[in-house]
Structure 1
Amino acid sequence: MFDNFLIRKDSLENVYKDDKAIGFKFAVRIADYRGCFLSLHNGYYIECDGVEYPRELQKFEINGKVPRDFEEIKTCVWEHWNYDDEGYVYVEKEGGLTAGIHTIKLQQSVLATYGYMPWDEEWLKNPPVPGHGAGAGKTANICSFDLELQGRR
């Protein structure tokens, strides 16, 4: 629904720990017009410059809390991600990104919020892999963004 507005264009930055780049991050919005309970947020299909970064290399920051992996997020059943709230996706990548423009392909995975579906119980036990169709919610397509790395490099 809001696929082309998922990433804030000026938000791509490297993430540092002890002065060493350990990955990158970018700001995102939810593609659902009414938000969702955070436990339904299942991660992202992320490809940066032709390299795919699976959910296991991703963390998510929202609601003023530290970045959390999606195993922890699926337990956040009472925490809500509101429509207009911006979150950050963190991606582990040793050395971070180089200066310049990077192509990020992205698909958000938010599980159904419309009541029980036959696959819901299975998805709780074995969430679908983002980018492979199931669980795409309002982002039916993998979207492409060209973003320039901001901040220190």
Structure 2
Amino acid sequence: MFENFLIRPDSLRNEVCDGRTVGFTLAVRHANYRGCYLSLHNGYHLEVDGTEYPTDRQTFEINGRAPRTFEEIRTAVHEHWDYDDEAVLHVAAPGGLAPGRHTVRFQQSVLAAYGYLPTDEEWVKNPPRPGSGAGSDKTPEIVAYTLTLTELTEPEKTR
């Protein structure tokens, strides 16, 4: 059920930096009511209109810090992502997305569990690929959203 509320519906935006569209962003939430330590957050399975955007094209912005890679986040063992806090997922996609409706397939991968699992030690060394089902915690299925991207006005375009 939580997976139905992971993306804020009006949050799909192209990201413009120095006058160039470098990708797009989504406002995302955590699926587990406990939140998690960031080091356990492994990224997202993300597909937009059939194109997959793997974690090496994703950066994550939370807690007032600049966007970080999921490799950087793996070391954030004392930083927490609370359930109520909205984060921003940045996706590198030169040219961004076209205005209009998009089908987004999405699954959060958080390596958190209630107690010890035999996979825990292996996942520290070799985290599972988001979308494989492993490490999906409260998001066992890939969920499809229909989101609309609208062009931003000029003052909103620069970050």
Return the alpha-carbon distance in structure 2 between the equivalents of residues 137 and 57 of structure 1: 22
The one-letter code sitting in structure 1 at the alignment partner of 2:6 is: L
What is the TM-score with the length of structure 1 in the denominator? 0.96
Return the alpha-carbon distance in structure 2 between the equivalents of residues 70 and 133 of structure 1: 18
Contact 2:106 2:142 (C-alpha < 8 Å) held by counterparts: yes
RMSD: 1.1
Q: What displacement does 1:113 show?
A: 3.6
Q: What displacement does 1:112 show?
A: 1.9
Q: What displacement does 1:121 show?
A: 1.1
Q: What displacement does 1:152 show?
A: 2.3
Counterpart in 2 of 1:129?
129
Q: Which runs of 5+ in 1 are unaligned?
A: none
Counterpart in 2 of 1:144?
144
Return the alpha-carbon distance in structure 1 between the equivalents of residues 36 and 118 of structure 2: 20
Contact 1:35 1:80 (C-alpha < 8 Å) held by counterparts: yes
Return the alpha-carbon distance in structure 1 between the equivalents of residues 89 and 102 of structure 2: 15
1:35 matched to 2:51: no
Q: What displacement does 1:150 show?
A: 3.1
Q: What displacement does 1:115 show?
A: 2.7
Return the alpha-carbon distance in structure 2 between the equivalents of residues 150 and 123 of structure 1: 38
Contact 2:36 2:112 (C-alpha < 8 Å) held by counterparts: no
The one-letter code sitting in structure 2 at the alignment partner of 1:137 is: D
Counterpart in 2 of 1:90?
90
Q: What displacement does 1:26 show?
A: 0.5
The one-letter code sitting in structure 2 at the alignment partner of 1:44 is: Y
Contact 2:99 2:151 (C-alpha < 8 Å) held by counterparts: no
Identity fraction in percent: 59
Q: Which runs of 5+ in 2 are unaligned?
A: 154-159
Moved runs in structure 1, 4+ residues, more than 6 A? Answer: none
Q: What displacement does 1:16 show?
A: 1.1
Return the alpha-carbon distance in structure 1 between the equivalents of residues 77 and 61 of structure 2: 16
Q: Answer with 114-123 or 82-91: which moved more.
A: 114-123
